[in-house]
Chain A
Amino acid sequence: MSMSLRLLRDRIPGASTVLMLVVMLLLIAAVTEALGSTVLSRFAIRMFIDMTLVLGLQMFMGNSNILWFPHVGFMGIGAYASVIFSMSPLQKILSLPELYPFLADVNLPFLPALLAGALVAAAVAAVIGLPLMRLSDFPAVIAGFAMLIVIHAVLTHWEALTNGPQTLFGVERRTYVMNSAIWACVFVAVAYWFKESKSGLQLRASRDDLVSTSSIGVNIVAVRWFALVLSAFAAGIAGGLFAHFITSFSPKAFFLRETFIILAMLVIGGPATVTGAVLGTVIVTIVYQTLRWVENTLNIEQVFAQPIAGLTDITLAVMLIGMLILRPAGIFERREIGWQALRALWPWTGADAAPEPAADPQVVRKAAETKQRR
């Protein structure tokens, strides 16, 4: 490795991780654009939106180890809010006839509307996070699940803002391959920065041991709350991108199915790392879309006497179960992609290419044993 790269690595420890992931995503986007296939770009856009969502989930769930269900609820809030900010007054008369007058005339350009929508999602998270972040373990998970139900019920029944259970139509298409890829890249950097920041480190410490984290003076509730608000902001951005990509949707889009998919993406990739969130999304998207294509083709060609259903979901579920049995910390466990990881793969480098021991599953096991012995 050249001297200057070494210097860069020492100065910005995460630079190589963020750089590699961003280059990879931009490459995917560029190739997709160059090929010009509509089907492929739809896959790619959907992948970048899901990636933004999964990176948001990683910031909270990956660092705190709290299994977190309401995430797609915040996506839904961001989707509806961004549409209310971006839709023209004329279209609102058709699409949202019962909308409150003070919102009817709001008409922002796409980017401010997207950011405003995400801020609404973050604000809702900030309020409900105050009581919820005091909970840990099992109660936190169940309370989070209940919160997803609450958000879904509100989206389904607040007709003035969401058109109720019916489809909200007439949203302008604003999300394309490049802007969705850029948002995914932004959150790669944000998620990495957060993980290595003071708050991120404190949150990861609380993942190891709650009692000693507070004994070194960390306000765990505050640190969790901050991560939650940041994570809901990312979910809100993903929701806004989704709304302006799909252009007509109903509250059903932000419920259990999407929750399952993004959890599978994060868990399969490895919730403790940003690399895991990114590559888990890529892998699951490829598997999921391929299976859906197979399923559709078989049904259209009428290969079987009756149409088959559920192949995609069952395969994904089995993949998730298999992963949890074979490699419970996900494909990437605790190791981020970067110079270190690349050098470990590169057989011709010098002896200084010491692999990071934290990624060794034996080490993690030994750590768990040490704790049990006490």
Chain B
Amino acid sequence: MLELKDVHAQYGAIVALRGVSIHVAEGDLVGLLGANGAGKTTTLLTIAGVIKPSRGEITFRGVSLAGLPPEMIVRKGIAMVPEGREIFPTLTVQQNLRLGAFIRRNRVEYRHDLEEMGELFPILGERMHQSAGTLSGGEQQQLAIARALMSRPRLLILDEPSLGLAPRLVDQVFRLIARLRREGMTILLVEQNVIQTLRIVDRAYLISMGQVEMSGTPEELKRHVDMESVYLGATVAARGGGQGRGAP
């Protein structure tokens, strides 16, 4: 469904991505793992059209996304939940959700989806007319995800949804993601929480220094990778194969 081939990107002289290739198949939940500064968010921003790749190719459902502005990419069916839960605090929960749905014009569908979000996220259902700024961090995260779902995306991209949440809420968010996947949503999940992520994804990519260090099923990754070094941002995190270990 989504295919990145040898994507390079840079901020001025600083090279952020040096040839990232990623494949997300329909119905898959794919994880993108890596330490701070590894290039995870840059990868997402290139998919979203905010950063133009200097080399390489991004295709979505067989069509190239090159040169499309962000709003057109959203219309193609890619919804992104940005890092830091960028909800609109002075608008109500319902207005936030309505903003997610504007790509579609069908009123009946909108009502239906709104009810569905109320069921999927009971807290939001109770607080439809409350301003979003009054929600707690975990509730705001749910709202950000719900808003993205209101556009009925073909692909949902989540950028560090567990960041800054209390442990109990982190569990809740991961359970929610797993549930969305079971219901057939294609998801690209960017995370630093390696343990939790590997529990729910079908496949994962490990990014380091702007390159894909390793990819595979959670079992394969667990077998080959020293998980602690992933957090520490080691240049070579793979175990064995004569490459040595980059982190103590």
Contacts and interface: CB of A to CB of B under 8 A. Distances in A.
Interface stretch (A91-99, A103-111, A284-292, A363-371): A363-371
Nearest to A362: B134
B102 interface: yes
Q: Which of A213, A216, A358 has the most CB of B within 10 A?
A: A216
Interface string A332-374: 0010000000000000000000001110000110111011001
Nearest to B96: A205
Given A367-B89, A367-B134, A216 B95 contact: no
Interface string B85-122: 01111111001001110110000000000000000000
Contact of A214 (B70, B90, B98, B132): B70
Interface stretch (A77-85, A196-204, A301-309): A196-204
B130 A357 contact: yes
Nearest to A367: B133
Given A216-B151, A218-B71, A358-B90, A374 B84 contact: yes
Q: Which of B80, B87, B90, B130 has the most CB of A within 10 A?
A: B90
B24 interface: no
B152 to A, nearest CB: 13
Contacts of B86: 209, 211-212, 215
A362 to B, nearest CB: 9
B131 A357 contact: yes
A334 B89 CA distance: 13
A345 to B, nearest CB: 19
Contacts of A368: 89, 133
B42 interface: no
Contact of B133 (A198, A202, A219, A364): A364
Q: Which of B79, B80, B134 has the most CB of A within 10 A?
A: B134
Interface in A125-175: none
A319 B130 CA distance: 32
Nearest to B131: A358
A205 B71 contact: no
Contact of A217 (B74, B130, B134, B140): B74
Interface of B: 48, 50, 70-71, 73-75, 79-80, 82, 84, 86-92, 95, 98-100, 102-103, 129-134, 137, 140, 147-148, 151, 164
17 contacts: A201-B102, A204-B95, A205-B88, A209-B88, A215-B50, A216-B147, A217-B75, A217-B103, A218-B99, A356-B129, A357-B130, A358-B131, A363-B131, A366-B133, A370-B133, A370-B140, A374-B164
Interface of A: 198, 201-202, 204-205, 207-209, 211-219, 334, 356-358, 363-364, 366-368, 370-371, 374
Given A201-B102, A215-B86, A217-B70, 15 more contacts: A198-B102, A202-B99, A212-B87, A214-B70, A214-B71, A215-B48, A215-B70, A216-B79, A356-B129, A357-B134, A367-B133, A368-B133, A370-B137, A374-B84, A374-B164
